[in-house]
Amino acid sequence: MRFEGVHHVTCITGDAPGNVTFYTGVMGLRLVKKTINQDDPTVYHLFYADEHGSPGADITFFEYPGASSGRAGDGMVHTITFRVGSEEALDFWESRLATHGVTTSRRDGTLRFDDPERLGLELAVSATGDAPLVARHPDIPSELALQGFDGVRAYASDPERSRALLEQVLGFSPRGADAWGVRGADRGGSYAYDAPPADLGVPGAGTVHHVAWASTMEDHAAWQRRVTEAGMRATPAIDRFWFRSVYFREPSGVLFELATLGPGFAVDEELEHLGETLVLPPTFEHRRTEVEKILTPLPDPRAGWAG
């Protein structure tokens, strides 16, 4: 069994309208599902991805309106890395982000910056043959657009605590000091640790809640058994309607999710209309009137687009 790289990365925002504006308007991703946090249905769960809502391109956010700023620390993901196709793409993004007032740092085939809530992001020139997962945007040529996740970096004071789980249980392969990769039949991804800052981490706006690794539907139950037998206190499989999920904390403290590749976001919306309206899983539909009164009004990210 092997994971198909990163399935999604879920983060926290205190400003859903601003979040939509940045990730769709600036970064060129598509809002593919506007729904609620199924563990707290009073708040949004927003999903941004490629044009098809593919696993591997999906950065998601829980909105807690007005949440104070967080800070990544020991046991937390601090950087999310997206792939791009070339140094020319990095040139494009360096210029585009500067136009939008975003400070960047470029070196060794990467471009590092923060989102408006100081979530650490990075663009890296991809050396894989994985299919590019690209969203459509009128101002971003497809060959220069984001192509899905490469991986994430986390802080860990003792990375060796996680080595046995990563290599012997989860099937990750070492890629140098404190770095690993995993590759399935179609996609791969990376996971790495850095020494933590002195200050303790603080969950809040601009921090990562969890990282999900992509499992086939057929292997999901076996993965749940495997991590449970390894002593990880994994949850049972939870039906999220668009995918199934298992959660546990790996030994360094990062919350992992194992998420299935299907059924996918088009199971309840037509592909061309993903993300346009509030969609609730069937088990939450009876609460629609309640949650619609609470949720923050959001801009239509593709209003005025031609075609």
The answer to whether residue 199 scores a pLDDT higher than 90 is yes
Element (H, E) at 194: strand 188-194
The answer as to whether 190 is a domain residue is: yes
* CA separation for the pair 73, 296 (Å, rounded): 29
Provide the 10 A C-beta neighbour count for residue 131: 13
Confidence at residue 306, expressed as pLDDT on a 0 to 100 scale: 74
Closest listed residue to residue 83, CA positions, set 111, 115, 117: 111
Q: What angle do CA 235, 241, 246 make, to 5 degrees?
A: 15
The answer as to whether 73 is a domain residue is: yes
Pairing of strands 77-84, 120-125: parallel
* CA separation for the pair 286, 90 (Å, rounded): 46
> Residue 200 has which token pair?
């303790």
The answer as to whether 299 is a domain residue is: no
The answer as to whether 147 is a domain residue is: yes
Provide the 10 A C-beta neighbour count for residue 127: 9
Confidence of residue 293 (pLDDT cuts 50, 70, 90): very high
CA distances from residue 21 to 15, 36, 45, 163, 217 in whole angstroms, order as listed: 10, 19, 15, 39, 33
The answer as to whether 67 is a domain residue is: yes
CATH of the domain at 107: 3.10.180.10
The answer as to whether 72 is a domain residue is: yes
* CA separation for the pair 95, 106 (Å, rounded): 12
Adjacent-strand bridge partners of 121 = 80, 113
* CA separation for the pair 123, 154 (Å, rounded): 16
Confidence at residue 190, expressed as pLDDT on a 0 to 100 scale: 98
Q: Please tell me what DSSP assigns to residue 254.
A: P
Confidence of residue 72 (pLDDT cuts 50, 70, 90): very high
Query: What is the rounded average pLDDT of the residues 96-117?
Result: 97
Confidence at residue 51, expressed as pLDDT on a 0 to 100 scale: 97
Confidence of residue 176 (pLDDT cuts 50, 70, 90): confident
- Max alpha carbon distance in the chain (Å)? 53
Structural domain boundaries, residue 193: 6-294
The answer as to whether 38 is a domain residue is: yes
pLDDT in tens, 210-259: 999 999 999 999 999 999 999 999 999 999 999 999 999 999 999 999 99
Domain tally, the chain: 1
Element (H, E) at 33: strand 30-37
Bond from prior residue into 301 cis (ω within 30 degrees of 0): no
Given a contact cutoff of 8 angstroms between Cβ atoms, the answer to whether 109 and 125 are in contact is yes
Confidence at residue 127, expressed as pLDDT on a 0 to 100 scale: 83
Query: What is the rounded average pLDDT of the residues 146-162?
Result: 98
The answer as to whether 301 is a domain residue is: no
The per-residue pLDDT of the chain, averaged, comes to 97
Return the SS3 of 256: strand
* CA separation for the pair 22, 18 (Å, rounded): 6
Closest listed residue to residue 100, CA positions, set 30, 31, 32, 21: 21
pTM: 0.97
The answer to whether residue 307 scores a pLDDT higher than 70 is no
